[in-house]
Amino acid sequence: MEKTDVLIIGGSAAGPVAGVTARKHYKDSRVTVIRKEKEGQVLVPCGIPYIFGTVGAPEKNIIPDALLSGNNIDLIVDEATSIDREAKTVTTAKGNSAGYEKLVLATGAAPIKIPIPGRDLENVFFAIKDVDYLNGLLKALDGVKDVVIIGGGFIGLEFGDELRKRGLNITIVEMLPHCLQLVFDENFCASAEDKLKERGINIRTNARVEAILGQKKVTGVKLADGEQLKADLVFMCIGVRPSTELAQKAGLQIGETKAIWVDEYGRTSDKDIFAAGDCAEKRSFFTAKASALKLASIATTEGRIVGANLFELRRRNEGIIGGFATVIGDSGLGLAGLTETQAKAAGFEIATSEAKTPDKHPGSMPGAKQFAVKLVFERASQQILGGQVSGGSTVGEVVNVLAALIQNRTRANEIATFQYGTHPFFTPSPIVYPIANAAEAALLMM
């Protein structure tokens, strides 16, 4: 039996980052990752939609194993099947076992497959993080003309946008009144839908899928209102469910969101076992309540927290803010923190404001796109709770500007005098820098 100081189960985002962080904080520890994926086969999770249009192949969307070897982290390619918490060992599908001082569960999450008729037909696919599976999907796309995507969240929209680049006929079916409704306020959702339509993508909102049609292979999708959509291929992406089988079998506590319960240091109910990433329960930065939000970026931040805490508690998880961006055509959309809807639902008394201007200056700069930001503030403290942004290629880092302001609980007055830098090619004009302008407008309402 191998014995290691730090054993990490899972090779995607949280696991390797926990390993790299452990290597830095506990230099002499032996750190081992055990994962199912073969050498060179761990997919960049957020890159999966881009395999099908922009990048071209799963093999071009890989997290290099040099991340492990370069940090002196051992790799075992195998599947962990059970944990013996008393003996502090993990056994594997190949019949091996490995001992640990500290164990990190980074087992991730798996796509939810809604139990509707036709779900198992040929050419029905899910966002499964597996190179062979996605190569199967890539191959299946040859000869396909009509695609129905079930689920109008980020992955559905990104997948649809990429397949549209192949000239396919795409319909996105969303149960709620708007695509992206769980992550944006209505006007941002509407702007995303406009952009999808401009790209020639069909949208059915307020629409529930009753059945996937076909004999052996999918031929269509039937909606609850009776409409039938033609489909040679269906992609279902309505969310993920934390992978907690291993933790449950080991008797670890499960949280409200059905993820593995962890304390603010990332420890499970067993103090020698940590959990991070999609499998671990999260709490909101704003309310401290359990949150089901799952993002690769959150997983890596949790990896950075857990990796530092293994042998000594060095970092508290202050709760998740949630920052992310997406792209439709060449337009970007992003959010950090709470939307107006979410803030109200959480019970905050808020003030909101919006500002708009080109994302380059002067507006006559070639390639300038409209940049719009909406900020949400808590009235009593005047602290920023969230920001939504639409624009071009800078939207991802604007989300991070907002995230930095939120993480520091920055007040409206401080944001109104935020010391931004600007450049004609890269940012809006300093005279109307929209984050400062929106903060000023909100301040005067509070």
DSSP, residue by residue, 155-181: HHHHHHHHHHHTT-EEEEE-SSSSTTT
Name the DSSP letter for residue 434.
H
Question: Which one, 216 or 423, has the nearer CB to its own copies?
Answer: 423
Question: Which one, 32 or 326, has the nearer CB to its own copies?
Answer: 326
Contact indicator for 201, 148 with CB cutoff of 8 Å: no
Q: CA distances (Å), 359 to each of 365, 375, 391, 394, in order? A: 9, 17, 7, 8
Question: Which one, 227 or 318, has the nearer CB to its own copies?
Answer: 318
In the bound complex, what is the minimum distance in angstroms from residue 258's beta carbon to its own copies?
Answer: 23
Residues 6+ apart with CB under 8 A from 355: 372, 373, 432, 434, 435, 437, 438, 441
Question: Which one, 105 or 209, has the nearer CB to its own copies?
Answer: 105
In the bound complex, what is the minimum distance in angstroms from residue 181's beta carbon to its own copies?
Answer: 19
Ranges assigned E (strand) in 85-208: 89-92, 97-105, 109-111, 124-126, 146-150, 169-173, 202-204
Question: Which one, 372 or 399, has the nearer CB to its own copies?
Answer: 399
Q: Is 161 left (phi over 0), alpha (psi -120 to 50) or beta?
A: alpha
In the bound complex, what is the minimum distance in angstroms from residue 413's beta carbon to its own copies?
Answer: 7
Residues 6+ apart with CB under 8 A from 263: none
Residues paired with 221 in a beta bridge: 212, 229
In the bound complex, what is the minimum distance in angstroms from residue 89's beta carbon to its own copies?
Answer: 28
Question: Which one, 177 or 424, has the nearer CB to its own copies?
Answer: 424
In the bound complex, what is the minimum distance in angstroms from residue 122's beta carbon to its own copies?
Answer: 29
* Closest listed residue to residue 72, CA positions, set 129, 6, 10: 6
DSSP, residue by residue, 274-298: EE-STTB-EEBTTT--EE----HHH
Question: Which one, 99 or 319, has the nearer CB to its own copies?
Answer: 319
Contact indicator for 306, 274 with CB cutoff of 8 Å: yes
Question: Which one, 169 or 382, has the nearer CB to its own copies?
Answer: 382
What six digits make up the tokens of 27? 């230099």
Question: Which one, 3 or 25, has the nearer CB to its own copies?
Answer: 25
Contact indicator for 81, 93 with CB cutoff of 8 Å: yes
In the bound complex, what is the minimum distance in angstroms from residue 429's beta carbon to its own copies?
Answer: 7
In the bound complex, what is the minimum distance in angstroms from residue 200's beta carbon to its own copies?
Answer: 20
Question: Which one, 211 or 432, has the nearer CB to its own copies?
Answer: 432
* Alpha helices by DSSP H, 26-61: none
Phi, psi torsion values for 252, nearest 5 degrees? -75, 150
In the bound complex, what is the minimum distance in angstroms from residue 440's beta carbon to its own copies?
Answer: 6
In the bound complex, what is the minimum distance in angstroms from residue 391's beta carbon to its own copies?
Answer: 10
What six digits make up the tokens of 142? 């040859």
In the bound complex, what is the minimum distance in angstroms from residue 296's beta carbon to its own copies?
Answer: 5
d(Cα 3, Cα 408) in Å, to the nearest integer?
Answer: 41
